[in-house]
Chains A and B, each alone.
Chain A
């Protein structure tokens, strides 16, 4: 998509959105009941209402805090396990077998187990987040640190770096592309798992997250609320991708010429 100008691309995209909204408005006119499909302006008004009243922001905040908690815990656990795996061959074998079993496993399957063992509250969500974040982070950091070029390490030693300085100035920067990839996968996975978990937990608890915000609306057949929740998730996802991950990449691995 490089050859086409930014302006033309934006015009095409804007036109497409307008056409979709047009078709939607047209169908509403053609006797679809307002309950299953209210017109676009009603949804727009409701979305604005949810944002202005702060309700949707609060739900989103609730979900994001749980994910960040789990993410932080996963990073700590993964750091410990990676260190052990790099120091001891036997630990590396164990890490390999654990990741090869747990990494392909959908962590949504763990939801009932988490309900039974931990409960449906905040702790349950955090436990699920840890399960969905830990394995991609661990796998990528282990691979990344093992792939650090031996020449870099020797150059680092040659200029007098040792221990923590060597780790901080040579090993972590070299492994950074892998570490960032691991974080990205972890973020995407935990987001999916938590939304699903909130839907399952929701029916029996006063769950507060954005997943429950969407699923609760199903009970009252509140179409605007469902669509608002979905739109907010999309916008938040795009913002995270563009504002957070791309900025980090631009400031580090792209600037250093490790990745394009």
Chain B
């Protein structure tokens, strides 16, 4: 065994040891914490302090995942379809607006004003206006979700493309890149940390907005996404299903953050050393 191989072996062993320590310390504590919340919940239910109708048993809630699994999946899918649609349009519009803003100072100053106005406005506040104009339906919902998806994407794309280092562009030109190739190999990767942040914030906002809109629409519509399920089960006083749907919302949020967004960063900007993920501020 060469010296190098030995070093690798020791490294592996150390990493493995660290992993085991992590498993026994952190995860165990976290599981114990969550478990004690569950037990307290079940005990509170058993004690019958409040009506069963208002405070369901934890086991009943979990069994809803088994009974209504199909429906919950379909409902989440419906909401996802809206969000996916809205985010695709936002990406397209966001790039066009960014392009125009970089070309013309007039567009840039107008966009700056629109951003300042739309930023503090909660997406649902537009809803009554849209209901009057377009009726209670998927179009009004789509516009609200679009409104919350578009601005973070535009703001971040604009900031990202504007702050691409001039040196990088010149180096790209020096080695003969032009037009689309320059954009693809130099400008887009440089702006990527901003673009990813924009997509992350855009996802989080549109997820919130979609659920809020479905809740406000509530009983007025005949079918809808996961927010609608929460409202309808509240309406019918099916509290276990309601809590199960709320759990689903929480789970989707965690999964989206851990699986999609963090991997997106790990595979690109983190790997390229453009950002450090250790102590980031949470904004959005």
Contact = CB atoms under 8 A, between A and B. Distances in A.
Interface of A is mostly: helix
Interface in A199-227: 199-200, 211, 214-215, 217-218, 221, 223, 226-227
Interface stretch (B127-135, B166-174, B182-190, B266-274): B127-135
A109 B131 contact: no
Interface residues of A, number: 70
Given A13-B113, A196-B122, A234-B120, A146 B231 contact: no
B117 A238 contact: yes
A200 B120 contact: no
A222 to B, nearest CB: 9
Interface of B is mostly: helix
Most buried by A among B117, B128, B281: B128
B103 interface: no
A108 B211 contact: yes
Interface in A166-219: 177-178, 181-182, 184-185, 188, 191-193, 195-196, 199-200, 211, 214-215, 217-218
A115 B281 CA distance: 33
A249 B122 CA distance: 24
B234 A226 contact: no
A214 B128 contact: yes
B46 to A, nearest CB: 18
Given A110-B246, A113-B243, A192 B25 contact: no
A1 B112 contact: yes
A97 B129 contact: no
Interface in A47-93: 89-90, 93
Contacts of A103: 282
23 contacts: A4-B109, A8-B109, A16-B113, A96-B26, A97-B34, A100-B257, A106-B249, A109-B211, A109-B227, A109-B249, A112-B242, A113-B246, A116-B242, A181-B283, A188-B120, A192-B123, A193-B212, A196-B122, A214-B128, A218-B131, A234-B120, A236-B120, A238-B116
